A and B are shown apart, each in its own frame.
Chain A
Amino acid sequence: MKILVVDDEVDVQPLFLQCFRKEIRNHVFDFDFAFSGEQALDYLKDKHSEVVLILSDINMPGMSGIELLSTIRKDYDNPPPLVMMITAYGDEETHANALQLGANDFLTKPLDFNLLKEKLNTVLHNG
């Protein structure tokens, strides 16, 4: 299952790669990374059909996670990828806004990787 992680902090890459070491080695999950909303859209242009799930930070310079979400929902609806939003603030307003725009789930920083693993496994098994 291919997952795209979008975050302006480059260190999320080694973090994810280590947290999901076993899963990556066993080819359960496959991670790709984009460091801005713009990069994520570039990536999706070619590979949107491969990506099953997008994990996106909300607070990023330039294009925000919310804007990325609404673009994805507008441009890529066949099949629509699952989008999980990660936010540092975790406030109700952003939450409601993202839900309305079609976010599938929410995660708050700092990331609880056990919880994330559970959620990803649920996605994997429910197809």
Chain B
Amino acid sequence: MSFLTYLSIFLLFNWLNRAVKMTPLSFKWKAVLGIGQGAAAVAYFVLKKPLSDEVHLLIGSIALGAIIKYFNEQEDFKSFRSYFESHYPLIAVGILIFLISIIAPGFYDEYDQYFLLPLVAAFIWVISRWAASKKQREELLLYKAKNEELDRLVAERTAEIQNQKEELEATIELLQNTQQQLIQSEKLASLGELTAGIAHEIQNPLNFVNNFAEVSSELLEEMNQELAKGDLEEARYIADDIRQNLEKISQHGKRADSIVKGMLQHSRTSNGQKEPVNINNLADEYMRLAYHGLRAKDKSFNSELVTNFDNSLPEVNIIQQDVGRVLLNLFTNAFYAVHQKQKEIGQTFRPKIEVSTRLQHNNIELTVKDNGIGIPEAIRDKIMQPFFTTKPTGEGTGLGLSLSYDIIVKGHNGNIAIESEEGNGSVFIITLPII
């Protein structure tokens, strides 16, 4: 009877030894398990002779119990616990058989052969638990392997995503830089358009400065002659003319000055400072600049310029160079539209650009109206989008209206509205709050 118990001990060491083979645990446990295995076999055969089968069984059972207790406490064999615990019935049956043989030797001797049955059953239970736990551990290993694979994949993906994120961040930075450069080049492009207009606009006041200065020096000579003749009245008359001329010189000098200042302001990066500005003057200045800019390219072009300014308008707090850029853009577009129409229809078409201002509740409303080609309905929603342009490549950046929209709506809490009829012209209405 004790054979099954010792066999169980032997198998326990043997199976554990096989289970830890080829694992990191092998090095630590190989010797212990090998010795345990041999000791079980030796103990069985050594103790078989001198001891009765029942005492032999008791010693085997107690040894098995001690071994189980020991292994149960080892962290390394945590996953074998259900197998270890399957030995409890075998131990209990072994001890019970010994106790019965002591307490009721008569009964025991009579039914001696039946006591083998529970012992065999308990042994079969141990073996079945081993098989189950083996399967479980194999599954566990498989699962672990899968888990590791999954972890590896996740790590791989994470690295990939991290890389993509970094790439995207670099791209965004590049885009932001490019956007800044585009805004700058849009400014330069419109400055280029301005240059011819500015040259003309500066030339005119300079001509007056030169002419009035020359005529004044001639007048002084004449005045001296009159004084020599004693014609004081005529001399005084001439002096008055000279005074008026000096005023004209100063006036035209200032005009040239403000044009140069405006040009510098236009090309400078906006400092974001809002200051009170007379919208009428600003609109007038940029309408002329845009007009002369186009005329510098096509000298045959001519347009009627109409201004309907409300002279009672209060000054409005705006970033002058930003709103100036918007106005230049609107006027350039308007002149472009009438110019295109003139190319289509011919000289019988009379281009007309009209700029109006008025006070509307607490807003200043500025309207730029042209009788040009108009905006087809299909693209009316798109014209404020960045990079949308109907002009041939190289003629427009497609940023003009988009920047204008940002400046008026985001920068000044205003609004840009568009009314247009294809073939008949467009109206752009800018609203700016006074406060």
Contacts and interface: CB of A to CB of B under 8 A. Distances in A.
A61 B303 CA distance: 6
Given A88-B204, A110-B211, A111-B207, A63 B302 contact: yes
Contact of A64 (B207, B210, B212, B302): B302
Contacts of A66: 300
A25 B4 CA distance: 150
Interface stretch (A7-15, A26-34, A40-48): A7-15
A19 B218 CA distance: 9
A77 interface: no
B contact face: mostly helix, strand, loop, or mixed? helix
Assign chain A's interface to a size class: 20 to 34
A109 B203 CA distance: 9
Interface stretch (B86-94, B173-181, B244-252): B244-252
A18 B241 contact: yes
A109 B200 CA distance: 11
A29 to B, nearest CB: 15
A110 B299 contact: no
A113 B207 contact: no
B304 A61 contact: yes
A94 interface: yes
A89 interface: yes
Contact of B302 (A15, A21, A62): A62
B331 interface: no
Given A61-B305, A91-B299, A111-B207, A11 B252 contact: yes
Given A14-B248, A18-B241, A19-B215, A59 B295 contact: yes
Interface string B206-226: 111011101100110010000
B291 interface: yes
A6 B280 CA distance: 26
A15 B204 contact: no
A18 B204 contact: no
Contacts of A111: 207, 211
A109 B208 CA distance: 10
A113 B299 contact: no
A14 B246 CA distance: 12
Interface string B392-410: 0000000000000000000
Contacts of B222: 21-22
B302 A61 contact: yes
Contact of A15 (B203, B212, B299, B304): B212
Nearest to B292: A59
Contacts of B203: 88, 109
A62 B200 CA distance: 17
Contacts of B303: 61-62
A11 B251 CA distance: 11
A93 interface: yes
Nearest to A91: B299
Nearest to B303: A61
Contacts of B219: 18, 21
A113 B215 contact: yes
Contacts of A64: 302
A21 B242 CA distance: 13
B215 A18 contact: yes
Nearest to A109: B207
Interface string A71-101: 0000000000000000011010110000000
Given A59-B295, A88-B203, A15 B211 contact: yes
Given A9-B204, A11-B248, A18-B245, A62 B215 contact: no
A94 B299 contact: yes
B214 A59 contact: no
A88 B300 CA distance: 14
Nearest to B196: A89
Interface in A111-126: 111, 113
A110 to B, nearest CB: 4
Given A88-B204, A91-B299, A62 B211 contact: no
A22 B252 CA distance: 25
Contacts of A19: 211, 215, 218
B215 A88 contact: no
A15 B215 contact: yes
A15 B208 contact: yes
Contacts of B207: 88, 109-111
11 contacts: A9-B204, A15-B208, A15-B248, A18-B241, A19-B215, A61-B303, A61-B304, A62-B305, A109-B207, A111-B207, A111-B211
Given A15-B212, A67-B302, A110-B211, 4 more contacts: A15-B208, A61-B304, A109-B207, A111-B207
Q: Can you list the 8 inter-chain pairs with the closest CB atoms, starting with the nearest?
A: A110-B207, A61-B305, A62-B304, A64-B302, A110-B210, A18-B215, A109-B207, A19-B215
